[in-house]
Amino acid sequence: MNIGLCQVEFAYGDEDFRLHIPELKLATGSRTAFVGPSGSGKTTLLHLLAGITQPQSGTIQVGENPLHSLSDAGRRAFRIKQIGFVFQDFRLIEYLNVLENIRIPYRLNDAINLTAEVNIRLDSLAKDLQLTDKLDAAIDTLSQGELQRVAIGRALLPQPKLILADEPTGNLDPSSKSKILDLLFAQANANHATLVMVTHDHALLDRFEQVINFEEFHKRETPYA
């Protein structure tokens, strides 16, 4: 899924944060890493690409979808059908177990069906994520690394065409980081998906086709400290 942004502006209320992106183009199937200091707008852009947040001005085209002009319902439908979002804060549902959390997209979206094939894919993902023995576990019994892996499994299970990952390796040990990145890349390749990842881990950057530093997009009314 290709991505195109033109003259996108976004600001948070009365805060001094301003995000200005004159132009950004990402090709279908590309692997892009966003880097930059905290507060530079990396997560904000992921939310814009997912249609969670709307720009004040400019255009955002994701595949055939003009996100800047879609209704709330239109953006929600696009997000459910096309996006796999790995949130930095996981956003898991505490009263559901691991298995139910990974399968939750199929409970929320009538456009995708929970079939035997999906369950086979879930078993394979759980094995890759080292979660096979945790599928019946309660969310509040998991470590931070396990929570991260559950969030990744939930995002990947529906085989999205755009994977947005916000620090997906941030809570993992070095060995697990490499394995998770391998999995993200493999899933993206298998589904001809575009992968956009926010990271502070510069040791991972040589594996990406494109690295974008967000300092160039970040505006403040006052100078940097």
Per-residue pLDDT of the chain (225 residues; tens, 9 = 90+): 999 999 999 988 766 778 899 999 999 999 999 998 888 889 999 999 999 999 999 999 999 999 999 999 889 888 988 999 999 999 999 999 999 999 999 988 777 888 999 999 999 999 999 999 999 999 999 999 999 999 999 999 999 999 999 999 887 888 888 888 999 999 999 999 999 999 998 999 999 999 999 887 765 443 322
What string of DSSP letters covers 63-127? TTEEGGG--HHHHHHHHHHHEEEE-TT----TTSBHHHHHTHHHHH-TTS---HHHHHHHHHHHH
Please tell me the class of the 29-54+71-218 domain: alpha beta
What confidence score (pLDDT) does residue 219 get? 52
Domain definitions of the chain by residue range? 29-54+71-218
pLDDT value at position 220?
42
Contacts for 135 with CB less than 8 Å, ≥ 6 apart = 97, 98, 99, 102, 126
Q: Residue 223: what pLDDT?
A: 33
- Please report the pLDDT score of residue 8 as a whole number: 95
Backbone phi, psi, residue 44, to 5°: -60, -45
